[in-house]
Amino acid sequence: MVFPFTADAHFRLKYSAANMRLSLSHTLSDGFSIGYNIGAEWDGEIPAPAYFYSVALGIGLTDKFGMFVEGFGLLPEEGDSQRQFDAGFTYLVLPNFQLDISGGIGLNEYAMDNFLGFGFTYRFSIME
């Protein structure tokens, strides 16, 4: 959550900014899983939220390599919706550290045309 009064005047948002997300995943079978998200975000520039969604299919290729395909979008209360698709690969470097690369396309005129992404994930172990 971001409050407008916490920033210098040059960087101050007009409204508070926040987001909330419900993330779920299920194992479909050995090597296949599905994950999905729904939520809302307020960007601080307008008072109305934008709603987002995603559905991803994960496929385990080996013990360390995997791939995924995903459809996702943004549905703002003010403005035009965006629909996108991406796919990528994952590599499990360590039991709690993963790298990924992905590329995607926009499915309508308001979404980004093409994009590439790189990332990493670290899973913190709170309880042993």
Q: What is the pLDDT of residues 60-90, one digit of tens each?
A: 999 999 999 999 999 999 889 999 999 999 9
Which has more pLDDT, 125 or 94? 94
Cβ atoms within 10 Å of 42's Cβ, excluding its own: 19
For residue 128, is it within any domain?
A: no
For residue 102, is it within any domain?
A: yes
Indicate which CATH number applies to the domain containing 96.
2.40.160
Q: Does 128 score more than 70 pLDDT?
A: no
Nearest to 124 by CA among 90, 102, 94: 94
For residue 62, is it within any domain?
A: yes
**Cα(76)–Cα(78) distance, integer angstroms:** 5
For residue 27, is it within any domain?
A: yes
Confidence (pTM): 0.81
For residue 127, is it within any domain?
A: no
112 lies in which domain range?
Answer: 4-122
Going by pLDDT thresholds of 50, 70 and 90, the confidence category of residue 1 is: low
Q: Considering its fold, how many domains does the chain have in total?
A: 1
Going by pLDDT thresholds of 50, 70 and 90, the confidence category of residue 94 is: very high
For residue 97, is it within any domain?
A: yes
Going by pLDDT thresholds of 50, 70 and 90, the confidence category of residue 31 is: very high
Going by pLDDT thresholds of 50, 70 and 90, the confidence category of residue 9 is: confident
For residue 96, is it within any domain?
A: yes
Encode 94-103: b = buried (16+ Cβ within 10 Å), e = exposed: eeeebebebe
